[in-house]
């Protein structure tokens, strides 16, 4: 049997087709919010879900995942009809969905591989990922193309892989999980989603007149951006597993005053410092940490249940590479915790105002580490009629961002997998940093090094 790293297989695909809403839907022009249409969100997000075969032979014969999902998708688009439209750009780079009902891209496929051949540890990067989510020529553009691409690939074992790619301007992780949950409910026989989708993008629009009231170092204009970008060809991706032993080893290095810090905070502090050390940056250079924070519960009143637009911000922690890399971990941890504390409803409004004032900029990517916690997003709970997926979540990471993905290893331990992208030389240093957590120049635990190596 091929190992996970060397697994190669063939995928046979039919021609892409457009799936339209099952019933007529409103023909209208729906503006996005000023959080939706910032440059940061103008990209395609790949998601992948691995499902095991049905236990019953009768179920296997009756339920073709391609047929079930295709039909459910058409019904779900009646409720989420903006997905069947096309994105347009107007004055001031303002984005809107032209609800044309043209449909979303759908690909039927078969692969000569079993789910078992992927191994016990399903996590990014996945072998032959480009075959499991085929990039239909021209479909990756942000404007005037389908807003959703879905490929359903049957496996030899009776399981299947559902791969999706959505335009981030339409929704964030929470919003897309809401859509996928509705798809699953309808695939299992429901006539309507349990949560009705809510548009109301005006709730996250800029004020009139705009009034930037908060400091937003995440959108600083760094002059040497082009000169410091790392070529994609030089970057490699690995995933690292952090279970109870690894988190405990990190917590042992945390000063007493931070004993109540969350797992997210302590893990982020260690990853940020280790990543910066591995890149061997000039000590005087600025480095940034951006933590994605879901705003849904930070509004008064809260955003309506069913709101599926982008509702997040990412306040920045800022320091110098020298200070971050040379200081005890408490320094980085304090910055992480303070970054989260500045977030508020006013902060979100200030971001929206900045967008219309400064032309909807992208966040600063130079020497930036961008972290998004997906451990509670819900990708792993999407049931299409085959139960929960063996893996559900991002198909890959990015050059400056990492996702925290819930994961259970082959020993049954629950933890977090973090995909990381770095230049190859820096990746080796990064793995060594994580594998050698030090306390008074001594290894904290041998298990930490071994566990991390096993996830490579």
How is 290-312 classified by DSSP, letter by letter?
EE-EE-TTSSSSPPPTTB-S--E
Distance set, CA 46 to CA 134, 167, 442 (Å): 11, 9, 41
Three-state SS for 98?
Answer: strand
Nearest C-alpha neighbor of 311 from the set 168, 200, 171, 148: 171
Bridge partner list, 443? 438
Q: Is 166 a catalytic residue?
A: no
For the chain, the C-alpha Rg in angstroms (whole number) is 22
Show the tokens assigned to 234. 């030089």
Q: Which one from 64, 98, 220, 383 is the annotated catalytic residue?
A: 383
Three-state SS for 380?
Answer: helix
How is 390-450 classified by DSSP, letter by letter?
SEEEES---SSEEEEEEEE-TTS-EEEEEEEEEEHHHHHHHHHHHHT-EETTEES-HHHHH
Distance set, CA 177 to CA 264, 353, 377 (Å): 21, 28, 7
Distance set, CA 453 to CA 80, 113, 236, 431 (Å): 43, 26, 16, 8
E strand spans, 191-323: 235-242, 286-291, 293-294, 312-313, 316-320
Q: Which one from 34, 37, 166, 168 is the annotated catalytic residue?
A: 168
Nearest C-alpha neighbor of 357 from the set 31, 95, 96, 92: 92
Compute the distance between CA of residue 190 and CA of residue 170 in angstroms, rounded to an integer: 24
Q: Is 168 a catalytic residue?
A: yes
Q: Which residues are catalytic?
A: 168, 383
């Amino acid at each position: 049997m091929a190992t996970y790293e060397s697994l190669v297989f063939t995928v046979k695909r039919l021609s892409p087709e457009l799936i339209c809403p099952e019933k007529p839907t409103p023909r209208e022009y729906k503006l996005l919010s000023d959080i939706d249409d910032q440059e940061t969100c103008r990209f395609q997000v790949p998601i992948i879900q691995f499902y095991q075969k049905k236990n019953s032979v009768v179920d296997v014969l009756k339920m073709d995942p391609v047929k079930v999902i295709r039909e459910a998708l058409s019904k779900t688009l009646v409720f989420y009809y903006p997905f069947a439209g096309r994105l347009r750009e107007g004055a001031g780079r303002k984005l809107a969905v032209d609800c044309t009902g043209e449909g979303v891209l759908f690909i039927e496929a078969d692969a000569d591989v079993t789910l078992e051949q992927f191994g016990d540890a399903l996590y990014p990067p996945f072998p032959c990922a480009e075959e499991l989510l085929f990039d239909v020529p021209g479909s990756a553009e942000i404007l005037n193309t389908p807003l959703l691409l879905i490929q359903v690939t049957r496996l030899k074992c009776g399981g299947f892989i559902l791969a999706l790619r959505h335009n981030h301007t339409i929704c964030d992780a929470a919003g897309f999980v809401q859509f996928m949950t509705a798809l699953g409910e309808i695939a299992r026989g429901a006539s309507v989603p349990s949560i009705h989708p809510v548009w109301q993008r005006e709730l996250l629009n800029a004020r009139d007149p705009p009034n930037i009231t908060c400091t937003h170092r995440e959108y600083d204009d760094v002059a040497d951006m082009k000169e410091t970008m790392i070529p994609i060809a030089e970057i490699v991706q690995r995933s690292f597993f952090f279970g109870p032993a690894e988190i405990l080893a990190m917590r042992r290095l945390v000063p007493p005053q931070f004993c109540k810090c969350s797992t997210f905070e302590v893990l982020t502090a260690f990853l940020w410092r280790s990543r910066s050390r591995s890149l061997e940056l000039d000590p005087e250079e600025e480095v940034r940490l951006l933590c994605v924070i879901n705003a849904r519960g930070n509004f008064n009143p809260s955003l309506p249940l069913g709101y599926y637009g982008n509702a997040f911000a990412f306040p920045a922690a800022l320091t110098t590479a020298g200070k971050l890399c040379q200081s005890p971990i408490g320094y980085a941890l304090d910055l992480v915790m303070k970054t989260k504390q500045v977030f508020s409803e006013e902060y979100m409004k200030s971001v929206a105002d900045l967008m219309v004032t400064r032309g909807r900029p992208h966040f600063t990517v130079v020497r930036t580490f961008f972290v998004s916690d997906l451990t509670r997003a819900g990708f792993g709970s999407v049931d299409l009629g085959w139960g929960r997926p063996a893996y559900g979540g991002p198909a890959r990471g990015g050059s400056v961002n990492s996702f925290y993905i819930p994961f259970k290893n082959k020993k049954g331990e629950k933890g977090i997998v973090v995909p990381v992208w770095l230049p190859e030389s820096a990746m080796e240093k990064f793995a060594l940093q994580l594998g050698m957590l030090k306390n008074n120049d001594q290894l904290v635990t041998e298990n930490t090094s071994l566990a991390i190596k096993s996830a490579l």
